[in-house]
Chain A
Amino acid sequence: MSEPVLRVEELRTHFFTKAGVVKAVDDVSFIVNRGEVMGLVGESGSGKSMTGYSLMGLIDPPGRIVGGRILLDGIDVIKLSGEEMRQMRGNRVAMIFQDPMMTLNPVLRIDTQMIEAIVAHRKVSAGDAHAMAAAALSKVGIPSPEERLSAYPHQFSGGMRQRVAIAIALLNKPDLIIADEPTTALDVTIQGQILYEMQKLTRETGAAVIWITHDLSVVAGLADQVSVMYAGRIVEQGTAEQVLGRPRHPYTRGLLDSVPANNARGARLKQIPGMTPSLLDLPPGCPFRERCSYAQSDCARTPLMRPLTAGQSVRCHHPLA
């Protein structure tokens, strides 16, 4: 197997606040192969978005990457200077955000914003850049791209805006695309369209994708690999079949059981008691033990990630059968 596009090793991103240290990302490791979609799943506050921001070098003070390595095509991204990082961002690795209205500049036309992204990274004539922008728009399924290029973001619907954001991310043929909840704000029919385009595009371009979401059903249909995050750590990892079909961590099991579609109509939903702990000065031990029905006394020791079967690993002292 060829070298993975992205190899993250023991990444730690901490926020140094007045109230204490928030370990938003704590010892996170994973790899993403070319043409593969990795689903990064977790609830709000689990650190999944911060993992994505860390990869993009978008962590602002008081946050800081305090340890680990991020190897993109073998190059450690953390060691790059600000200028080198800027060259890489939007070029080799691109990000798609949840709300396209926040990421597109409302006072600039679409063509201005797209051409800017192209000429920032390579020397091309204005005419070529324009043609590349139009081609990118048609690739994501926007009808009459030539005309739409001269429109402003507010003239697009939510789904179309997200397509534009995806087109911008694809402009420089990145090796890695980080998608942070890109379909959460969209209607189901539009979500279906976007997922269809993404599936098609990853197949065509061979780009690796990290799909950050809280929606297990999206991951189930789209991802090859799944990593489940809880309280800043990855608690379970494996192929989509393994993690969603036969979860070994009690938290993953609980998440799957909470999905209404997985429950019989009218029956009580199986719920996880309590709520996600504050990441501020998290005590040692398994952070899930307060809510876990399988917890025992040795869960006060911090569990390590350990492989169970081929490809599936779990951070739990008492993995499920």
Chain B
Amino acid sequence: MSAADPSMIAPRSITGAQPALIELNGVSKRFVKPLDVAARIGNVFGAAIAEEVVHAVDNVDLRIAEGEVVGLVGESGCGKSTLGRVAVGLLAPSGGQRLWRGEPVEQMRAISARRAQLKMQMIFQDPYASLNPRMRVIDIVGEAPVVHRLISAKQQVEYVGLMLNKVGLDPTLMRRYPHQFSGGQRARIGIARTLAVKPEFIVCDESVAALDVSIQAQVLNLFMDLKAALNLTYLFISHDLGVVQYIADRVVVMYLGRVVESAPAAKLFNQPNHPYTKALLAEIGRVEPKKRKFAPVVGEIPSPLHPPSGCHFHPRCPYAMPVCSETSPALIEVSTRQWSACHLNTVSNTAGR
């Protein structure tokens, strides 16, 4: 139950002994709004106006083993997309370390960093906004592999055809523009573009959120088929717990920039430990034709500009104690491979649990 220094132990034992494909150690991402001229002038005269800082991601450890599917869930504004972008390398972390197959990416030589970076790719949420409307499918999918010299320009047509086949699109459509496709087909084009550079690790940021359920099922099946065929590793970011429960091996729950719970999917959905996880699970969509009493979590996610003191969840938490507003709880292993950051786990004789 207790650990001497959980921040040191947490990343190593979360996934057991498997080697990590990608590892984030104590990663933070801060966004700072610089002071404007008026505020700087004001400060000269002693106004003491501080810069506004958002801790989008706050000291997060994440280890993803090869072939694993990690689901990352949380409400909007919890920093899950930012963490995904840091993991894939689209955003540089403000603090902490990012390791690819055990090697810190920041310290790699330029050429190997570039090579490692190519193995990490992202699939975005909106199949409408993430495809250039002025490019034909052949260029959308075929540009990057040519640029990165994975194929020669002559092989492009054949290669793009191969990629489109892989995602279940008719290769004869490769001369078309994105607007000539439906939402589900566009999602497939986005996936083909990602696969074209032969990635090993893919961050899927709400990649099925914009799709109808029947199309969503087709795309989720495609994700799982591709994982099996190409030995892919996914970080699957979603607010839809039903989707995450279905697809993920392990689930990480974020709240206001911090990881509050991390556990194997089966465990997290059956025996959630953190009160926030429990609250989220209570809202999970079940198609049971039964009039349901909606018993909502009170309040909303607070502004990350001014996060609550101590445990970020305490203003909404039904079990909040005085200590919760004072110190922030550390992630500790509450049962095998289940990590939770809640003071209730360290206080003995907790009532109401």
Contacts and interface: CB of A to CB of B under 8 A. Distances in A.
Given A215-B285, A269-B217, A270-B217, A221 B301 contact: no
Interface of B: 75-76, 182-184, 212-218, 220-221, 224, 239-243, 245-247, 265-266, 279-280, 282-297, 300-301
B115 to A, nearest CB: 32
B316 to A, nearest CB: 9
A220 B246 contact: no
Given A196-B295, A258-B216, A263 B246 contact: yes
A261 B286 contact: yes
A17 interface: no
Contacts of B245: 260-261, 265
Given A43-B212, A216-B287, A188 B217 contact: no
Contact of B242 (A190, A217, A245, A257): A217
Contact of A188 (B183, B266, B280): B280
Given A243-B289, A268-B224, A221 B214 contact: no
Nearest to B69: A266
Given A157-B300, A254-B214, A188 B241 contact: yes
- Interface range for A: 35 or more
Interface of A: 43-44, 157, 159-160, 187-193, 195-196, 199, 214-218, 220-222, 239-245, 254-263, 265-266, 268-272, 275-276
A229 to B, nearest CB: 12
A188 B288 contact: no
Contacts of B288: 220-221, 244
B295 to A, nearest CB: 7
Given A187-B301, A192-B297, A193-B296, A261 B284 contact: yes
Given A43-B213, A187-B239, A260-B220, A196 B294 contact: yes
B287 A217 contact: yes
Contacts of A242: 289
A214 B294 CA distance: 19
A241 B300 contact: no
B23 to A, nearest CB: 25
Say what secondary structure dominates the interface of chain A.
Answer: helix
Given A189-B75, A190-B300, A245-B289, A216 B294 contact: no
6 contacts: A196-B295, A217-B286, A220-B285, A257-B217, A261-B287, A275-B184
Contacts of B287: 216-217, 220, 244, 256, 259, 261-262
Contacts of B213: 43, 214, 216, 255, 258-259
Given A244-B289, A258-B214, A269-B246, A189 B279 contact: yes
Contacts of A262: 287
Contacts of A271: 214, 217-218, 221
A145 to B, nearest CB: 17
Contact of A189 (B182, B246, B292, B296): B296
Contacts of A244: 287-289
A280 to B, nearest CB: 14
Given A199-B294, A261-B286, A255 B246 contact: no
Contacts of A275: 182, 184, 214-215
